[in-house]
């Protein structure tokens, strides 16, 4: 999965009070100011609470950990010294398929939060 690189900048002038409010709203939801502005700007659903925002962040981390684990398993499978169990639930191909299915389910659940 490729990471999105954001390089464009949007500049606007706001009052110091508006800036404080913007920062407070982002902090309340557990978002960076940039994420908060981006979500509001594109009409993306905001988390209902900071707990949801943290949960979403944690679930994304779990999803990324599963991807890293899958990559490590693929690397191990390519290693000639790695004993590869076959015809069982522990077969690397079976594990990879299950991990990908869990990642898809996790991503669907995250999007619903």
Q: How far apart are CA 70 and CA 64, in angstroms?
A: 10
- The answer to whether residue 45 scores a pLDDT higher than 70 is no
Q: What is the average per-residue pLDDT within 7-36?
A: 89
Return the structure tokens found at 6: 């954001």
- pLDDT tier, 23 (very low <50, low <70, confident <90, very high otherwise): very high
pLDDT of residue 113: 67
CA distance 75 to 92: 11
Show the tokens assigned to 75. Answer: 């690397």
Q: Give residue 20's pLDDT.
A: 95
């Amino acid at each position: 999965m490729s990471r999105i690189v954001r390089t464009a900048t949007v500049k606007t002038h706001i009052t110091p009070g508006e800036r404080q409010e913007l920062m407070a709203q982002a902090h309340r939801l557990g978002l960076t100011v940039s994420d908060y502005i981006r979500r509001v700007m594109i009409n993306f659903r905001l988390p209902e609470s900071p707990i949801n925002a943290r949960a979403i962040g944690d679930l994304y981390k779990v999803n990324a950990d599963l991807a890293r684990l899958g990559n490590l398993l693929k690397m191990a499978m390519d290693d000639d010294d790695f004993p590869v169990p076959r015809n069982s639930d522990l077969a690397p191909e079976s594990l990879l398929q299950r991990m990908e299915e869990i990642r898809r389910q996790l991503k669907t659940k995250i999007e619903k939060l």
